[in-house]
Amino acid sequence: MLPLPPNSIAMAEHVKCLIIGSGPAGYTAGIYASRADLNPLLIEGLQVGGQLTITNEVENFPGYPEGSSGPVIMEDIRNQALHVGTQMRPGIVTKVDFSSRPFHCWVDDKDEITADTVIVATGAQARWLGLPSEQKFRGFGVSTCATCDGNFFRKRTTVVIGGGDTALEDALYLSQLCAKVYIVHRRREFRGTAALQKLVLNTPNIEVVWNHVPVDILGQQEGFIKKVTGLQVREVETGEERVLEVNGVFEAIGVTPQSDLFKGQLEMDAQGYIVTQPGTGRTNIPGVFAAGDVQDPHYRQGIVAAGSGAIAGIEASRFLMEN
């Protein structure tokens, strides 16, 4: 549990619309809420720009005919939100109280903000496998972000775990830097899109290890220096184990919604996705809306998140007109 915010005699800042999160959903909600004169305040969180900022090549976000990079797209959307008047503030929302209106939120455990409407756009974060030695080598050869850490493995051998779009994109990215890239996937067919599958299967320095699951990460430690030397994998049907000699392990096994902050207040499904009324972004609390990956177990695309941010911005404005 996070510590409770200290008592303060200062008046809380009040806004008509508070947006929590700065991915495509949060920024687009900012654009719509600003144009509806809600003067929204957007708290940007830890990873400014969200998950797209760690995606190297994006070909499926409309408006970029030749594709672009995640950071460039997010910078563009952020600038557009600023241009129409969205106030941006660094910080993390550490506590919320949605029990009465106006809603109460605390930033960085201290600054209290009251809001007539709240748009939750906190996104999702990469999942970890939970292997025995994973924590030990995290940051020393084990990563969930190929575009952040791939550069450390130039001309080395790496492995990507997973069979979705992220795994395929990561493997393609790493194949340009590394001598060899394995993909370890637990089934005999990929989940990722056909175009990426084709590219992966036609890249000579990518080898797919089908039907295998990771068992443990192997490595060495001398003093404070740790390094990965291999990934132990098991064939799903035969149970046969072997070691892939690799210097880097990249996990790409999906995401978890970042919704812990709202537990007990907003309705969620078993995986922690915030439940919204289809097509509206409305949560179980009138005046609180959710947009983007934190409420989307199905599509998890940047453009879908942006669209749901637009919906939440419009809904917040309608809510204030009606109340």
Nearest 10 degrees: CA dihedral of 314, 300, 97, 82? -50
Query: In the complex, what is the shortest distance from the CB of residue 190 to ligand NAP, in angstroms, rounded to a whole number?
Result: 7
Per CB under 6 A, 217 contacts ligand NAP? no
Considering only residues 273 to 302 of the shown chain, the ones binding ligand NAP according to CB under 6 A are 300
CA R_g for the chain: 22
The contacts of residue 148 (CB under 8 Å, 6+ apart) are 54
Phi-psi label, residue 7: left if phi above 0, alpha if psi -120 to 50, beta otherwise? beta
Query: In the complex, what is the shortest distance from the CB of residue 193 to ligand NAP, in angstroms, rounded to a whole number?
Result: 6
Q: Is 145 a catalytic residue?
A: yes
CB 187 within 8 A of CB 163: yes
| 136, 138, 156, 191: residue in contact with ligand NAP (rule CB under 6 A) | 191
* Number of residues in contact with ligand NAP under rule CB under 6 A: 19
Q: Which one of 149, 165, 170, 296 is the catalytic residue? A: 149
Residue closest to ligand NAP (Cβ): 164
Considering only residues 10 to 39 of the shown chain, the ones binding ligand NAP according to CB under 6 A are none
The contacts of residue 22 (CB under 8 Å, 6+ apart) are 42, 43, 44, 45, 47, 48, 49, 50, 78, 88, 121
Region near ligand NAP per CB under 6 A, out of 63-71, 83-91, 166-174, 303-311: 166-174
Q: Is 269 a catalytic residue?
A: no
CB 77 within 8 A of CB 90: no
Q: Active-site residues: which are they?
A: 145, 148-149
Residues that bind ligand NAP (CB under 6 A): 60, 129, 161-167, 169, 186-187, 191, 213, 252-255, 300
